[in-house]
Amino acid sequence: MVPFLDLKAQYASIKSEVDAAIQGVLNSCQFTLGTEVAAFEEEFAAYCGSAYGVGVNNGTSALHLALLAADVGAGDEVITIPFTFVASAAAIYYTGAKPVFVDIDPRTYTMNPKTVEAAITPRTKAILPVHLYGQPADMDPILQIAKKHGLVVIEDAAQAHGAEYNGGRIGGLGDMGCFSFYPGKNLGAYGEGGMVVTSNPELARKVRMLRDWGGEKKYQHVLKGYNMRLEGMQGAVLRVKLRHLEAWTEARRAAAVRYGALFAGSGVPTPYAHSNVRHVYHIYATRTAKRETLQAGLQARGIQTGIHYPTPVHLLPAYADLGYKVGAFPHSEQAANEVLSLPMYPELTTSMQEEVAAAVIELHGVSRAAAMT
């Protein structure tokens, strides 16, 4: 058996630290926000190279509140990609604005900057690149376009804790960076969590107010706010886990190198990483036109895989009202049809990777032959 993810193995490796942190919250009874959350906000913001961090209840709320803080609302448009988790587009909708999609670079699965300017209209307010799979989007041209047109840049960094672009940590490159701490993420809570990081004090203040009923003082509601606070328990657990994040990230990167060596010369497609980035391999995806055959074959051998994501957002029934048709974003659509995520996590052993690679190579031959008939 090779599981897709093994959160139990990770817990076992840090059990005493986590248990003590949770006990600390039980002792203090600071169950929502509180000192652990405040300390985590400071530590994670510093990790991202940002001045401020505002902890929220999940990554979707981080995106939602970042957009609101940037004054995105009804009548506005926000440019993003359709090959992403639905939350990237859903958060835009929550504000009343409309997601406008542009296609991906098929090598990196991130926003193709060359497509962005053509999508800008007088209603465009922001660009929301997604660092999908842990690979940074090509931020320099995106930031240049945003500057030229006076647009806000909000990074969807939900899958990319610790990723770097030209030596700078993602999340801190745009106006705001939005993270998810969903349990399976590279830095995952023991429940739900998210954060907005920024170096702009006004934006930080606004997100801070919005996540806690729109005020800085109790019962003084200055903005129409929400209850989107990060729980104390999650702050305490995330502080513990942040101390291990660099070692875990390096373990993921080493595992990616190992897969690369195992697949070398086999014809199995491996992820592309630009030379100027630090890819953090939240997802390690191969591609095949006969995905079902490959996935079923691996499953039969006890190897779990995932598909991130089988339908691009513009073709999801929930977003049919946007009016996009099949063929609108060919690279996103092809990726959605072909990607298959292999097991990838810090606790993955060399022998597990050898087992995965041997099975993929064997089945890939089969699935390629099947694709040709």
Contact 92, 98 (CB under 8 A): yes
Of 2, 65, 87, 315, the one binding ligand PLP by CB under 6 A: 87
CA distances from 98 to 60, 123, 236, 330 (A): 16, 10, 36, 21
Is 194 within 8 Å of 22 (Cβ atoms)? no
Tell me, what amino acid is at 308?
H
Number of shown-chain residues binding ligand PLP (CB under 6 A): 14
User: How far apart are the C-alpha atoms of 41 and 235, rounded to whole Å?
Assistant: 8
Which is closer to ligand PLP, CB of 156 or CB of 175? 156
> Under the criterion CB under 6 A, does residue 88 sit at the interface with ligand PLP?
yes
The verdict on 155 binding ligand PLP (CB under 6 A) reads no
Q: Which residue has 């919005």 as its token pair?
A: 210
- The one segment of 153-161, 233-241, 265-273, 315-323 that binds ligand PLP by CB under 6 A: 153-161
Least spacing, CB of residue 371 vs ligand PLP, in Å: 29
Structure-block tokens of residue 126 = 């922001």
Q: How far apart are CA 365 and CA 373, in angstroms?
A: 13
User: What are the φ and ψ backbone dihedral angles of 289, each rounded to 5 degrees?
Assistant: -70, -15
Which of 283/315 has CB closer to ligand PLP? 283
Q: Which is nearer to ligand PLP, 227 or 349 (CB)?
A: 227
Q: Supply the minimum distance, in Å, between the C-beta of residue 95 and ligand PLP.
A: 15
CA dihedral of residues 4, 257, 296, 107 (deg, nearest 10): 110
Cα atoms found within 13 Å of the Cα of residue 241, Cβ hemisphere only: 25
Q: Is 194 in the site for ligand PLP (CB under 6 A)?
A: yes
Question: Which window, 53-61, 212-220, 252-260, 270-278, contacts ligand PLP (CB under 6 A)?
Answer: 53-61
Binder of ligand PLP out of 126, 154, 158, 273 (CB under 6 A): 158
CA distance 85 to 100: 15
Of 116 and 137, which CB lies nearer to ligand PLP in the complex structure?
137
Minimum Å distance from CB 265 to ligand PLP? 32
Q: Which of residues 56-75 bind ligand PLP (CB under 6 A)?
A: 58-60
95 binds ligand PLP (CB under 6 A): no
Candidate list 155, 156, 175, 231; residue touching ligand PLP; CB under 6 A: 156
Q: By beta-carbon distance, which residue lies closest to ligand PLP? A: 59
Counting contacts by CB under 6 A, is residue 186 touching ligand PLP? Answer: no
Q: What is the DSSP string of 58-90?
A: SHHHHHHHHHHHTT--TT-EEEE-SSS-THHHH
Residues in contact with ligand PLP by CB under 6 A are 58-60, 84-85, 87-88, 130, 156, 158-159, 180, 182, 194
